[in-house]
Amino acid sequence: MLSVATLAVATLTGCGTSTSSSAPQGDPNAPLEVWTRSTEASAKVYTRIFAEFTKQTGIKIDYKPVFNDFDKQIQQRASAKDLPDAVVTDTGSLGVFTQQGLVPEVDRNSLAGAGDVTDRAWGNAKTADGKYHAIPWSTQAMVTLIRKDWREKLGKPVPTTWEELADLAKAFTTQDPDGNGKADTYGMLAPATTDRGYTLWWATSYLWQGGGDVLTDAGNGKFNVAIDSPDSVSSVEWLRGLFCDSKVMNPNALTLSTNDAHPLFETGKAGIYLTGPYLFSRFDKNLGKDKYEVIPSPKGPKGDTVLGEGDDLYLMAGSPNPAGQKKLAEFMLTANVQKMGMTVQSGETPVVRLPVNKTVNVKDVLKDDRWETTAKVYETSGRPFPGVPNFQPFRQKTSESLSKILTCGTDTKTELTRLAGDLKKELGTQGIAQ
């Protein structure tokens, strides 16, 4: 197996990043192998998009949708010095791919159509050194989905605060909202497995709403640890109460992946779900559009900030067709393709949640107030994870500590203090400690 350093040199050289006249120019007729982190429901949309690319350019696409073990498979291909030509996955991979040398720097100004992309979206493709190593493809913000029929049956208001949210969750757990005479419903649903750090992915909006944080930006590329601050402790204590005191969370939350969580909402096992807007079409089909509502996240003690991130297109190093990679990037930034990614058929999942192309208006394309709500949440309350060189170690370590706390056997302050020490070491390792 190649070391990361050897891989970086080999792949970046293979991609033709050298300015030497002897640098390989590539084969403009070579097909492009493209991976997306996708389920079958979203792969159908990508299939149409890539077919249109081939129709317009003549460049063939060898498309592979991957969901399970996506990161593991990428690393296996990296070790073999045989990466796909392009990958679409979430912004959380940016730091890892860049540190390992799997993606070369992107010249934003050299891409046709780059000026039509919002600066905020470009921020999702920018690494801590201010350079770009990806191309923005889609953005989104977390919104709260609620079983409207349950809420109205119990005579509860639409929640606007943490207190009202917790009260509604308790009612959904204890007052038989589905009317079947059984205690078989839970107030809140969380895909909070530690795999890939999803515990923090779900919890971070609540952490921020309570005034807490994992890291704070000290300026000049330096960061401080904030996970053990008083606001962080109180925010996590509030979450712990949902698991351990009121017991309104789905029982298997801490081992549940996102893909396994969705059926629990649509089959009536849980009534509140903080998640992304890509599920609207699925729940419309499997649950019914009239049975649930989409609202901004209820405000915590310090505001209504939510996680706002997205997906990037990564042009992987070592491609035999760098010219084709560029054409694909420019194609995917166009207004028409952004609209294709937003427009789905029954049972499909959109692959562009909120468009990165500023000439595309989500309201005009989808004519759906729920997407307009999502766009407003993104603009007013959405926030990405900290722009450190590689956030994944922080996300993973924090998720593991949160999981310990939320199993109800660990003192919150003690565990977060211990975690803070680990995160300070990681800041030092990455050379960004204040």
Cβ proximity of 281 and 39 under 8 Å = no
Can you tell me the mean pLDDT for 267-284?
A: 96
Q: Residue 202 has what pLDDT?
A: 98
The confidence band for 11, taking pLDDT boundaries of 50, 70 and 90, is very low
* Residue spans per domain, the chain: 4-141+310-383, 143-307+388-429
In 178-302, alpha helices (H)? 198-209, 230-244, 258-266, 280-283
Task: Please write the tens of the pLDDT for every residue from 78-126.
Answer: 999 999 999 999 999 999 999 999 999 999 999 999 999 999 999 999 9
With residue 325 as reference, give the H or E element that holds it: helix 322-333
Higher pLDDT, 23 or 102: 102
- What's the token pair of residue 321? 């067709």
With CA atoms as reference, report the closest residue to 202 among 353, 412, 398, 424. 398
What average pLDDT does the structure give for the chain? 93
The confidence band for 13, taking pLDDT boundaries of 50, 70 and 90, is very low
- What's the token pair of residue 318? 């070592």
Can you tell me the mean pLDDT for 158-185?
A: 98
Task: Identify the DSSP state of 238.
Answer: H
Beta bridge partner(s), residue 90: 311
Task: Please write the tens of the pLDDT for every residue from 362-396.
Answer: 999 999 999 999 999 999 999 999 989 999 999 99
Task: Please write the tens of the pLDDT for every residue from 212-249.
Answer: 999 999 998 899 999 999 999 999 999 999 999 999 99
Q: Residue 25 has what pLDDT?
A: 61
- What's the token pair of residue 185? 């419903």
Structurally, what CATH architecture does the domain formed by 143-307+388-429 represent?
Answer: 3-Layer(aba) Sandwich (3.40)
- What's the token pair of residue 116? 């039509």
Q: Residue 78 has what pLDDT?
A: 97
**What are the DSSP calls for 342-377, one per residue?**
H---TT---S-SEESBTT--HHHHH--HHHHHHHHH
The confidence band for 14, taking pLDDT boundaries of 50, 70 and 90, is very low
The confidence band for 177, taking pLDDT boundaries of 50, 70 and 90, is very high
Q: Residue 178 has what pLDDT?
A: 97
Asked whether residue 7 carries a pLDDT value surpassing 50, the answer given is no
Burial category of 409 from C-beta neighbours within 10 Å (exposed 0-12, middle 13-18, buried 19 and up): exposed
Distance CA 47, CA 340 (A): 11
Asked whether residue 8 carries a pLDDT value surpassing 80, the answer given is no
Can you tell me the mean pLDDT for 23-33?
A: 80
Q: Residue 325 has what pLDDT?
A: 98
Identify the weakest region by mean pLDDT among 4-8, 169-173, 219-223, 356-360: 4-8
- Dihedral of CA atoms 72, 142, 352, 339 in degrees, nearest 10, equals 180
Kindly report the length of the chain: 434
Q: CATH topology for 4-141+310-383? A: D-Maltodextrin-Binding Protein; domain 2 (3.40.190)
Q: pTM for the full model?
A: 0.90
Task: Please write the tens of the pLDDT for every residue from 204-214.
Answer: 999 999 999 99
Asked whether residue 266 carries a pLDDT value surpassing 70, the answer given is yes
Q: Residue 26 has what pLDDT?
A: 81
- Dihedral of CA atoms 172, 178, 182, 184 in degrees, nearest 10, equals -50
